[in-house]
């Protein structure tokens, strides 16, 4: 039986730049940052108060990605095709998006009311898109 999932992987153009983005702009915490002998770097982040699920920030140009595949992934990432599958929850979507915009985060879609709550879409500095969700009633 599977109990839960613990990690979600996002491809990034630069792990150093992604680390700065997630910690400085989103106020996430670094959970792991380990470099292996073969050059592979295991870098994970998550919201400050969430320890059970981590986002793996995987450099596209890593030893585990074939160069031809890396080229294709970079193109898809820059086009905004990868991503938009992670939903982050907030208590105040409008305030959070305004704060992210003030920090220079790219806002793809401003807060919009839906039957389930308020949501907005933003992108990280590699082109990954996220849905920011405020449940109805908050």
Q: What is the pLDDT of residues 81-111, one digit of tens each?
A: 775 568 999 999 999 999 999 999 999 999 9
Q: What is the DSSP letter of 10?
A: E
Q: How confident is the model at residue 1 (pLDDT cuts 50, 70, 90)?
A: confident
Predicted pLDDT of residue 64: 78
Q: Please state the φ and ψ torsions of residue 91, each to the nearest 5 degrees.
A: -85, -20
**Residue 23 to residue 27: CA distance in whole angstroms:** 5
Alpha helices in 31-92 (DSSP H): 67-78
Both ends of the chain: CA-CA distance in Å? 34
CATH 3.10.180.10 fits 7-135, yes or no: yes
**What does the domain layout of the chain look like in residue ranges?**
7-135
Q: Give the rounded distance of the alpha carbon of 129 from its chain centre.
A: 7
């Amino acid at each position: 039986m599977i109990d839960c999932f613990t990690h979600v992987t996002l491809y990034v153009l630069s792990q150093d730049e992604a680390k700065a983005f997630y910690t400085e702009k989103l106020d996430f915490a670094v959970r792991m940052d380990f470099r292996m002998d073969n050059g592979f770097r295991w870098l994970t982040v998550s919201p400050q108060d969430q320890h059970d699920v981590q986002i793996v920030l995987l450099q596209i140009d890593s030893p585990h990605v074939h160069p031809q595949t890396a080229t294709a992934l970079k193109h898809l990432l820059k086009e905004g095709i990868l991503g938009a599958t992670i939903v982050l929850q907030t208590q105040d979507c409008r305030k959070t998006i305004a704060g992210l915009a003030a920090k220079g985060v790219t806002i793809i879609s401003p807060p919009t009311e839906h039957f389930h709550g308020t949501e907005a879409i933003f992108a990280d500095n590699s082109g990954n898109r996220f849905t920011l969700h405020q449940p109805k009633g908050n």
